[in-house]
Structure 1
Amino acid sequence: MLTSPASDLTLVLDIGKTNAKLLMVDTQGVVFEQHSRPNKSVISELGYPALDLDGLRQWVGLTLRGSANAKQCGRVIASTHGAAFVGLGDDGVAWAPLDYEFDVRGMVRDAPDAQISAAFDEAYQLIRDPFSETLAPDLPAGLNAARQLYWMQHRHPQAWANTRTLLPYPQYWAWWLSGVRSSERSSLGCHTQLWCPQVREFSKLAKAQGWDTLFAPFRDAWAVLGPLRPDLAQDWGLPQACQVHVGVHDSNACLARYIEPEFPGQVEQTKALTVVSSGTWTILMAPNAPVQDLQAQSDMLGNVDVLGRTTPTARFMGGREFDHLLGGAGPDDGSMADLRQLIDTHTRALPSFASDGGPFRDHRGQVLRGDPSATRILIRSLSAGERSTLAALYCAQVTCWLVKRLWQGAAASQSALLVEGPLAQNTLYMSILSALLPDHTCYASTETLEGTARGAWQLCHWQVTSAPKFLNLASACAVDGLREYHERWLIEIDHLTP
């Protein structure tokens, strides 16, 4: 562990769906200290899976009390996953915030009052705004935050009656740290059905339900809310003057690093820029892609960047699917020889291996071998190298398919694709993706600090004019038959698309 001689470390609280991280980063972008813990839901007092606020708060306090660098932290910012909101009452949290993987529709169907349970989703469908306005598709479980709020309001009206303020998840942490309530657009525009990105205002649903009046005032993600609460500063050993920033939706933290002119890019700015943020979700954000071509049935949506602008987005649960296809193999066990073997035997993965999102979420994934007579095989029948290679190959193919869907044949000259997160570290994935997208220049982030945390850190240093450069140009693999293999894969998945 390094010890900082400076007095201006930035404390980044990066809460992903699978893992939570706490990092201390200096003014030059060097990580001085970092910690992580698994992030899992807990069962709330009302009986549903909820975000583990208590566990995370205790972990943050315990970690900082044991840190030699805590006293050097002059700033703090939170970056969190989307589809998460916290209701505050007069004395703190009014009700435990729902885990977005909790199927509110399924739970209501199992409720004692069958009439209410049967009518719940139908009622919600009747009142939600159309995709053309919110650019938020109808998603499973609680991935549309408006459905979470509607469920809580009608399923637990007594708890809901205690709600005085609604906060996006990053701003909950900012409130806990500073005592100041705020809202921020990148979380409100994350497939919530609460926001209309193109007109930059709350949806008709949010207004009709009165939710819009509950949200705290809007502040920019990089804005300073004020100093850390004195009791926390004293308990943790942080400076009393430590400044708390508003915070940001994690994938938008990745994107913020490359938005001109506010953030200096590490590659020449291009019209066709696509940023791929990987983790539990693989999220593709294309700031200048055509909004009118977004397809709700393919889990495409209009996100909102930190400047409040509509950002065409596509996604799939790449991290979950990659792990499933690994079947216990290591992510780097694959090789070009294994890729050659998969192509020669026409062994391929057809989506999907996760049911909580993505364009193929309604289809059960399978691994096939042979052509034209295909045989379904077990993942475990493949060697560790083949499984690892198949995982990289499959994720590269789905990424490529989504890139093409986002741009819909738009001019691809000067196209840049930047990959952040674990997939950027996978050489096979990057080389296959580059080969499948010859009209794009593909870059991989090479730093160990993930783009979510890096972007959050950079938001705290808005005036920085020279960001650290962590991008490497990816080289396309030269394996005969890859293009033809992919073309046949495209034909096979064509009947899966709505």
Structure 2
Amino acid sequence: MTFIGLDLGTSSLKAILVNEQQEVLAEHSVRLSVQRLHDGWSEQDPQSWCGAAVEALRALAQKSDCSDVAGIGLSGHMHGATLIGADDQPSRPCMLWNDTRSHAEAAQMDADPKFRDISGNIVFPGFTAPKVEWVRRNEPEVFAKTTKILLPKDYLRLFLTGEHVSEMSDAAGTTWLNTGQRDWSDEILAACHLSRDHMPRLVEGSEVSGILRADLAADLGLPQAIVAGGAGDNAAAAIGAGVLEDGTAFLSLGTSGVLFAANNGYRPYPATAVHSFCHAVPETWHQMGVILAATDALEWLARLTGRSAEELTSGLGDLRAPTKSIFLPYLGGERTPHNDAAIRGQFLNLEHTTDATEAARAVLQGVSFAFADCQEALAATGTTITRALALGGGTKSAHWLKMLATTLNISLDLPKAGDFGAALGAARLGMMAATGAGSEIATQPPLAQSIDPDPKLTDAITEGHAAYKAAYLKLKDLSS
């Protein structure tokens, strides 16, 4: 038997085919585009996900034998508001996770204590519920004809199976879920002018959600495989990395940044702006500190300077004390710990000698300090991280990994070459659903190396983090 993992990312959809030994037999990625019509807006055409999935699945079938595919798992970027009508077609473009136009709606919801009490989280502007409320207020004709609201990967599921289904890890990022009870909250839905009729059916990520449509299977040359519940992208990445046991963690250095810790119980602490969500397998939860711009901040500097990210970081040399320049990486607002959609990034203490390399050093350090803020927020909930797997495209920079390990004062474990992210996690969930296998198949990957902190720089980086925090407070005062 073989299994497919589909990971719907913001910039691409990735498909992988694995065998029962979880060896990757084939993979294919399809690029996606994002539309930003106004400041703070971020939208995507849901139909593009379906076209990308068809292209990726066809490519897998051309690269390898897919005749024995038994299970398909789905992963996707969270919080997107995909509104569909009675014909199951999108009523408007999907508002993505980094769309912050609904900050006023989010603040109004968050001021009502029941939202935090029931969902276990602050109502962030990026979450699904305030986006749908924005549509209700600003596009009433769209809201009126909406029959179902789906998360991005769940719209892709609808295309694949014809079923309206979601699962716990992704649903926990909507604000509509009672995260402790793992069920939709009728009280919150009513407060949002919605009902269960608008919601998809819920399953666990490792359970069966449907079967690949017969016509689509025939068109793609695939069997009618089981489609698993799947997971939101970070929970799927945790399954791919084997981060399920209490106390295990990963640091994701991608477009956004995530510090993720698995929990054996539900530990909400909304005041910290730490996300407390269901995990992708039953009776488990997880916490996340989230920063909105990680490698995205370096890519911003690359566009500004006309140099690639690789060129900017190639001359950094050995790790040293933080540069005088301070970079606050709030290019599109920030989540943990600030919960501020309106704040924007800032460069401070620029000098005549500040060149592109020094600016890159400041950007890497600023993102690292943002991760340190997340670490402190997690510690306030009682979750201590002593080591973590390092995942994501930013881990190609050895300098950045050493900087992060030293800034956070933890060891970072770098997996050997291979895919141990959300696509593999989705495939593993597909395997669980199709075979009845348990979470024991979600093992941690073999390691290439471990990066330990440099104790000689601890004091200097502590001082640098204090200067970073002071710069944030000044920016906050100016913003208000």
> TM-score when scaled to structure 1?
0.78
Deviation of the 1:229 alpha carbon: 0.9
- Distance (whole Å) between structure 2 residues aligned to residue 132 and residue 255 of structure 1: 26
Deviation of the 1:177 alpha carbon: 0.8
Deviation of the 1:63 alpha carbon: 4.0
What CA deviation, in whole Å up to 9, does each residue of 1:359-408 have, x standing for no partner? 4555443344xxxxxx3349x94244x44444433333322332122113
> Quick check: 2:71–2:226 contact (8 Å CA) kept in 1?
yes
| Identity percentage of aligned residues | 18
> TM-score when scaled to structure 2?
0.81
Aligned to 2:390: 419
Aligned to 1:116: none
Name which of 429, 434, 437 aligns with 2:405: 434
Is 1:324 aligned with 2:261? no
Is 1:395 aligned with 2:380? no
> Quick check: 2:57–2:220 contact (8 Å CA) kept in 1?
yes
Aligned to 1:113: none
Aligned to 1:350: 328
Deviation of the 1:121 alpha carbon: 7.4
SS at structure 2 position matched to 1:193: coil
Is 1:194 aligned with 2:176? yes
SS at structure 1 position matched to 2:333: coil
Deviation of the 1:87 alpha carbon: 3.4
Deviation of the 1:64 alpha carbon: 3.5
- Distance (whole Å) between structure 2 residues aligned to residue 121 and residue 63 of structure 1: 36
Letter in 2 for 1:207: A
Aligned to 1:366: 346
Deviation of the 1:91 alpha carbon: 1.9
Name which of 248, 260, 264 aligns with 1:285: 260
Is 1:77 aligned with 2:73? yes
Paired residues in the alignment total 450
Which sections of structure 2, spanning at least 5 residues, go unmatched? none
What CA deviation, in whole Å up to 9, does each residue of 1:464-491 have, x standing for no partner? 7554623344223648445313323324
Deviation of the 1:300 alpha carbon: 2.3
* CA RMSD between the two structures: 3.5
Is 1:452 aligned with 2:460? no
- Structure of higher RCO (CA pairs closer than 8 Å, 6+ residues apart): 2
> Quick check: 2:241–2:444 contact (8 Å CA) kept in 1?
no
| Structure 1 residues 27 and 389, CA gap change in structure 2 (3 angstroms) | farther
Letter in 2 for 1:337: G
Aligned to 1:408: 380
Which sections of structure 1, spanning at least 5 residues, go unmatched? 1-7, 107-118, 264-268, 369-374
What CA deviation, in whole Å up to 9, does each residue of 1:148-204 have, x standing for no partner? 2222334333333333333332222222111222121111111x2212323434342
Letter in 2 for 1:62: E
| Structure 1 residues 211 and 259, CA gap change in structure 2 (3 angstroms) | farther
> Quick check: 2:239–2:422 contact (8 Å CA) kept in 1?
no
| Structure 1 residues 74 and 225, CA gap change in structure 2 (3 angstroms) | same
Letter in 1 for 2:76: T
Aligned to 1:227: 211
- Distance (whole Å) between structure 2 residues aligned to residue 468 and residue 186 of structure 1: 20
Aligned to 1:16: 9
Higher-Rg structure is 1
- Distance (whole Å) between structure 1 residues aligned to residue 108 and residue 359 of structure 2: 44
SS at structure 1 position matched to 2:47: helix
Deviation of the 1:250 alpha carbon: 0.6
Deviation of the 1:227 alpha carbon: 2.8
Deviation of the 1:88 alpha carbon: 3.7
SS at structure 2 position matched to 1:55: helix
> Quick check: 1:133–1:196 contact (8 Å CA) kept in 2?
yes
- Distance (whole Å) between structure 2 residues aligned to residue 147 and residue 79 of structure 1: 23
What does 1:67-466 correspond to in 2, within 5 Å?
Answer: 67-68=61-62, 69=64, 71-72=66-67, 73-100=69-96, 101-105=98-102, 129-140=114-125, 143-190=126-173, 192-203=174-185, 204-208=187-191, 209-239=193-223, 241-257=224-240, 272-288=247-263, 291=267, 293-296=269-272, 299-306=273-280, 307=282, 309-317=284-292, 318-326=294-302, 327=305, 328-331=307-310, 333-334=313-314, 337=317, 339-340=319-320, 343=322, 346-355=324-333, 357-359=335-337, 361=340, 362-368=342-348, 375-377=349-351, 381-384=354-357, 386-408=358-380, 410=382, 415-438=386-409, 440-462=410-432, 463=437, 465=440
Deviation of the 1:14 alpha carbon: 0.9
| Structure 1 residues 387 and 29, CA gap change in structure 2 (3 angstroms) | farther
What CA deviation, in whole Å up to 9, does each residue of 1:286-314 have, x standing for no partner? 23499465435xx4222221236443321
What CA deviation, in whole Å up to 9, does each residue of 1:419-468 have, x standing for no partner? 22123333222222222344x34212333425111211221233275546
- Distance (whole Å) between structure 1 residues aligned to residue 83 and residue 344 of structure 2: 36
